[in-house]
Amino acid sequence: MSELNVAVRAEPRPFASTRNSCKLCAPLGACIAYRGVEGCIPLIHGSQGCSTYIRRYGISHFREPIDIASSNFTESSAIFGGRSNLETALDNVTRQYRPKAIGITSTCLSETIGEDVRMYLTDYMKTRDPSTVPVIAYSSTPSYRGSHMDGFHEAIYAIVKSLVPSNGAAKAEPKTAEGATGKSRVNLISGFVSTEDLRELHDILSSFGVDYTLLPDYSESLDGGSWAEYQKLPEGGTPIADIQAMGEASATLYLGKAVADDRNAGAYLEKERGVQNYRLELPVGIEASDRFFEALERVTGKKTPARWIRARGRLVDAYIDGHKYVSGKRAIVYGDEDFVAAMVSFLDEMGVVPVIAATGAPSPRFAERIRSLTRNSRKPCVVMPDSDFATVLEAAKDSAADFVIGNSKGYYLARNLKLPMVRVGFPVHDRMGGQRILHLGYRGALSLFDSVCNELMRQKQEAAKSGYTYI
C-alpha cells in the first residue's frame, strides 16, 4: 500500500499449519444464526464431535443450554455416505422437538466425501407429508472454506431464500403489516453481535415507529430468563411470518461488508423482490452510528428521535473527558473482519492508534477497508488477514502496543505481551457477561470507551509505586 497508515504483512509464514487460529468454524456461525429464528433447531450433518464443540463454545459465552442436533456420522457413514443418518435425524428432531424450522449445516467431513444434501432433502420431502415437516433451510459450511462469519451469513442467506421466494425480480410495492396502516416495513440484518446489541437494535428500530424484521434475533433464545422447567426450544427468535414478510419491505439495512455478494441475503431480496439493499459497517463509534441513523432516516422518512441525539451528545462529552487517557495509545485489534473494521474505526476516531489489525479469514479487501477507516492516524497499521495468534504475537513484539482488544481467544496475546486486555466480541468465555456487552450505537460506543479508559487507568494505577487512588 502506498498510503502511510497501512502496511500489509506479506512475509512468508514459517509454519504450513494454523497455530491457535484467529477464527472459529463455519458451522458454529451457522448454528448461532439458526438459533436466532423462532422455533428453529440447528442440525449438524456430520460427526457428533462437531455439535459438541459448537455447544461447548456457545454455552461458555452465552451461559445458556444450547441444543444442537447431529446426524451422527460413524466410520461407515464416512465411507458409504450419511443419507440415511440425515433422514433419521430429521425424523427424530421433528418428532422430539416439534420445531417450526430446522437449520441444517454441513461439515468438513460431509463436504469432503461429496454429500449432495440438497438432493437428499428433495427426495426426503417426496416421501413425507409436507404439512408435518417444518421449514428446512440448508447451508453449505465446510470450515476449510471459511470462518464462523461465512457460516453465519450463509445461514441467513439460506433462511431468507427458503422463506422468501423469488418473483422474477419484479419490483414489489412496499406493503404494510397487518394493523399498521401507512407504515412500510424495514429489514435489518445484523452482524454476529451480542444479545445486548440485538436488544439495542430492537430499541432503535421501535423508536422510529415502523414495522421491521430483525434477523437473526437470538436476544432471548440465547439470553433469556431462568426456567421452572427445561425448554427444548427456548422462546425468542425472529418469527417465521416476519421473515416471510421481508420481501414486502421497502429496504434492507445489512450490517457488515465482509459477506460475499452471492451469499448476501439483502442482495438476494433486492434482486428477486426489489427491496433496496444498504450495506453498512457495524455502527460502532460516532461516525459509524451517524451513518446508521442517517440510513434509518432515509428508509423510514423520519427524523432520529431526540433520545438518540442526547445519547450522541453524552458520547461526544465522554470523548472530551477521557481524551487525555487514550490519546496516542497503541492497540492490537483482532477478530472477524467486520468486527475488526468497526473497532479500528472506533479507536481511530477517539485518538487511539491501531498498530495491528488481524483477522483469521483471507480477504483481499481487508487492507483497503482498514486504510479507509484509519484517517486520523499517520502511523502505519499492520494489517494481517488470514492470520493466527502465533503469527500475530510475532508481529506484536515490536509494535510497542499499550493494550489488546478482542475476544477471549486473544488472552494468549495479552498474557505473553503483559498488556491489559479489553474483552469484546465473540467468544468471551473467561469473564461473566460476555453476551451482554453492548457494542453498537452511541450507547455501545460510550460503554466501550469507558472500558478502554478504565483498563488503561487500571494498568497505570497498578504500575505506580505510590498506589494512588486519584487519576
Q: Is the preceding omega at residue 216 within 30 degrees of 0, hence cis?
A: yes
**Domains of the chain and any CATH numbers:** 6-19+320-463 (3.40.50.1980), 26-163 (3.40.50.1980), 186-306 (3.40.50.1980)
For residue 169, pLDDT over 70 is answered with: no
> Per-residue pLDDT tens for 102-118?
999 999 999 999 999 99
In the prediction, which pLDDT does 168 show? Answer: 63
Q: Are 339 and 425 in contact (CB under 8 A)?
A: yes
Candidates 288, 442, 297, 426; CA nearest to 369 is: 288
In the prediction, which pLDDT does 450 show? Answer: 97
Distance CA 27, CA 7 (A): 32
> Per-residue pLDDT tens for 297-342?
999 999 999 999 999 999 999 999 999 999 999 999 999 999 999 9
> Per-residue pLDDT tens for 122-167?
999 999 998 899 999 999 999 888 899 999 999 999 999 999 998 7
> Per-residue pLDDT tens for 173-204?
544 433 333 457 999 999 999 999 999 999 99
The DSSP result for 82-144, as a single string, is SHHHHHHHHHHHHHHH--SEEEEEE-HHHHHTT--HHHHHHHHHHTS-GGGSPEEEEE---GG
Distance CA 286, CA 350 (A): 9
Residue type, 323: H
Q: 248 by DSSP, 3-state: which?
A: helix
Distance CA 261, CA 457 (A): 43
In the prediction, which pLDDT does 173 show? Answer: 54
Distance CA 361, CA 23 (A): 7
User: Which pTM was predicted?
Assistant: 0.92
Q: Where are the alpha helices (DSSP H) in 208-336?
A: 240-244, 265-273, 286-300, 306-326
Residues found in the chain: 471
Query: Mean pLDDT, the chain, as a whole number?
Result: 91
In the prediction, which pLDDT does 131 show? Answer: 87
Grid cell at residue 39: 422455533
Which has more confidence, 5 or 39?
Answer: 39
Which has more confidence, 308 or 377?
Answer: 308
What's phi and psi for 151, nearest 5 deg? -65, -40
